[in-house]
Structure 1
Amino acid sequence: MHEPSIGQPAVCPPDFWDTVAGTVTARVEPVIGRGEKQRSPVIDYLRDLEALARRQCCSRDTVQIIASGRRLLGDRSEIGPSDGPFART
């Protein structure tokens, strides 16, 4: 399970979550098919973002978009509590 990094903001404004799909696409597309060195920082970012979304965002779709971006880059790690909201996302 991945824990968010210490440097993340405590709370994201609600309109931030409206932009997540574009943010994920912009970060994932350029590194699809690249080596681990290029993918690793994006995967770390998405893990942190997903952990934050699971705590702060009320949209299952947002969490799914982030998780899908991680999977496209080959990351299969589990994020978040197995019994919390969006546990089966």
Structure 2
Amino acid sequence: MVHGPALPSDFWGTVAEHVTEKVEPVLMQGQRARTPVIAYLRDLEALARRECDSRQVIQIIASGRRILGDHVEVGAKDGPFSRT
């Protein structure tokens, strides 16, 4: 889970760069290297679904997970942004 102090107020505006920084280094590596990044992105997506009102942010995070091979659905099936 994403721990620590609250995210800076401008974090969601830089999420595309943040996700890219997490995904690119493990993109050409095996599942063992990808697993912790996928778990982090799942937690980040769950946090975004609770705290961020931007569908685009959630789509960026979900895309990063899918690029790494993760197809697990995060969030409630009938909640906000459930069709992202």
1:78 and 1:68 map into 2 onto residues whose CA distance is 12
In structure 1, the gaps of 5 or more residues are none
User: What's the offset of the Cα at 1:9?
Assistant: 4.9
The answer on 1:40 being equivalent to 2:28 is no
Give the share of equivalent positions with the same residue, in percent: 61
Unaligned runs of 5+ residues in structure 2 are: none
User: For residues 27-79 of structure 1, what are the alpha-carbon distances to aligned partners after superposition, in whole Å with 9 as ceiling and x for unaligned?
Assistant: 10111131011101110110000000000000000000000000000000010
Alignment of 1:26 with 2:21, yes or no, is yes
2:52 to 45, 48, 57: 57
Question: How high is the TM-score relative to the length of structure 1?
Answer: 0.86
Bigger relative CO (Cα 8 Å, ≥ 6 apart) = 1
State the SS of the aligned residue for 1:61. helix
Of residues 65, 76, 84, the one that matches 2:79 is 84
